[in-house]
Amino acid sequence: MIRRTCVVGAGSIGSLYAAHLARVAESCVLTRREDHAFALNEHGLRVTGRHDFLARVLAAARAGDLPEPDLVIVATKATGLESAAAALAGRFPTATVMTVQNGLGAEEIVRSHGSWPLVSGVTFMSGTKHSDAHVEYILDTETWIGPYGDTPFECVEEIAALLVAAGLQAEALPDLRPAQWSKLIFNATVNSVAALTGLPHDRHFAAEDGESDLGRLVHALVDEGKRVAAAAGVELYDDPWEMNVLATKRGSAHYPSMLEDVEARRPTEVDLITGALVREADKHQIPAPLHTAMYRLVKAKEASYT
Amino acid sequence: MRVCVVGCGAVGSLFAANLAGLDDVEVWAYDLAHEHVEAINEHGLRLSGAGEVLGRLRATSDPAELPSCDFGIVATKAMHTESAIRATAGAFRDGCVATVQNGVGNEDVIAAHVERVIRGTTFPAGKLVAPGHVQWDVKGDTTLGPFEPRPAPFEEVERLADACTRAGMPTYAVHDARGPQWRKVIFNAATNPVGALTGLTHGRVCERPDLRQLVTGLVDEGKAAAAAQGIELDADPEELIDHAAKPEVAYDHKSSMLQDVEARRRTEVDYLNGGIVRFGREHGVPTPLNAAIWSLVKGLEESWAI
């Protein structure tokens, strides 16, 4: 029975989880900054957009200041995962820990800091943080979760049911890898192309008529990613090319986080996304020259900040 | 003899101002920048830096003012070749037209409008610092040769090369000028867009081992496309790349394409990576990395319209 939850990292995704969970559980938030925790305790957490409510949460910047949770959702960006997981080391021994980072490898990073039962997640929902205590719920799409290692499936089903009761879209899958890999290939392709071209995820990503049209590169990157998935023995849940085409047909173009990161000259999540795909390709001895090129270019763009 | 430089930007100005110093050559310049044209007509065309020159010549933006010329030297950016040669072709009905532009394919565009065409490649570089004033950054050689589908007579190629050399622009007349042209195209296509996409100077591109490998991947595709056409490169583009990366040569140089991107001007990528892709396709050589880079830079250009 999950009575108390703790979301680690209150960016837009973490804030959406924490606020909604407050409707069905005691919702705690572990923040990086003291003033962020103070703002949440002082004002609560306001959700607008798809849903509209004010949630009461208990926030702190130190894990030791929070009561023992039954479920921890680590919702930092991939770039903040290592330090967030290190902050949990030695704490919350009875909790189950769920990751929702983009890419691959988040579970291993958390595992290296403790022996909690782990649950893998991928989420397609999106939001915009307007302040430390206000998040706008933009896309009310699903979170898919599955067991990692020997975590029992019933545990995953309980978390999915809790998220659904909290008003979010969620589904428990016995094997998350097909969904995780579909999103990995989608993100590795769309995020890196957006970061290098400055284009939001718009119609250019599906255009293939002209010889230099961007959709041709997107398609080639997706095909290369699918060959890596096949070599890794993963059958994809959704076709990443179809996910791409569908996403470009939504009304307003999405700004992938990697594009926001390079525009703000911040480190990107490329190591856990494109980097993870390239490492899988190496491991299974499948050539991935295009994703390798994209990885090198994004890393070089990060180097150009200084 | 009478020579008209078509497109009197930095490179065109180097030819125009130097040739104007010869007693036996009458120089005209055709350019659309009115301030530049007026400054040249009033004060002459000044070069400073690698050489101090003040050339007296006639400049115009009106093709109807051009007299019949023995030679044209086309030095526009590659994407302006078509409009420039269409406007001025009348002046070259009895003459020969040389291109000293970047990229491949300019010769074909020129040959659609004039009878006798000269393929050329030039290494000197500079930049326009004020109307009528060009800074001459680097000296270098020029190679000219007949463009086989619509060739200029070799004696005419030699006559133009001789005039350029006497004017202080060392120029070689050769029967097959494709070697130097492809060496430069491969160099530019492998380095300029990598700088443009990442924001790094030439030296910083070359000192990142993984990025330097991407550059080599692009070079190898270009070499294969050249070899399939029976072109023998006059030197290895890799040597040129490493030479330019030295601190005393061009470590801090921002590629012209990076300068274009920073100023949000259209780039010459269609004639560099795009040229390698097109020639590769015609000769059955796969060029996936050049195609990827081509699409990324085109996507970047598209992002400015949003």
Q: What are the structure tokens assigned to A305, written together?
A: 């900040």
Q: Which 3 state secondary structure label does DSSP give A132?
A: coil
Query: pLDDT at position A255, please?
Result: 87
Q: Which residue reads 């962020």 in tokens?
A: A36
How far, in Å, CA of B116 to CA of B156, rounded? 10
Rounded CA separation A194/B43 (Å) = 47
Contact residues of A toward B, CB < 8 A:
193, 196-200, 202, 204, 211-214, 216-217, 220, 289-290, 292-294, 296-297, 299-301, 303-304
CA distance B32 to B6: 10
Q: What is the pLDDT along chain A (306 residues), one digit of tens a residue?
A: 899 999 999 999 999 999 999 999 999 999 999 999 999 999 999 999 999 999 999 999 999 999 999 999 999 999 899 999 999 999 999 999 999 999 999 999 999 999 999 999 999 898 999 999 999 999 899 999 999 999 999 999 999 999 999 999 999 999 999 999 999 999 999 999 999 999 999 999 999 999 999 999 999 999 999 999 999 999 999 999 999 999 999 877 888 889 999 999 999 999 999 999 999 999 999 999 999 999 999 999 999 999
Catalytic residue among B184, B223, B246, B298: B184
> Burial code of B7-41, b = ≥16 C-beta within 10 A, e = fewer?
bbbbbbbbbbbbbbbbeebbbbbbbebeebbebbb
pTM for the full predicted model? 0.90
The confidence band for B306, taking pLDDT boundaries of 50, 70 and 90, is confident
Per residue in B279-291, is it b (16+ CB within 10 Å) or e — as a string? bbeeeebebbbbb
| Residue B184 known to be catalytic | yes
Task: With beta carbons under 8 A apart, name residues in chain B contacting A199.
Answer: 299-300, 302-303, 306
- Chain B residue numbers touching A202 (CB-CB < 8 A): 306
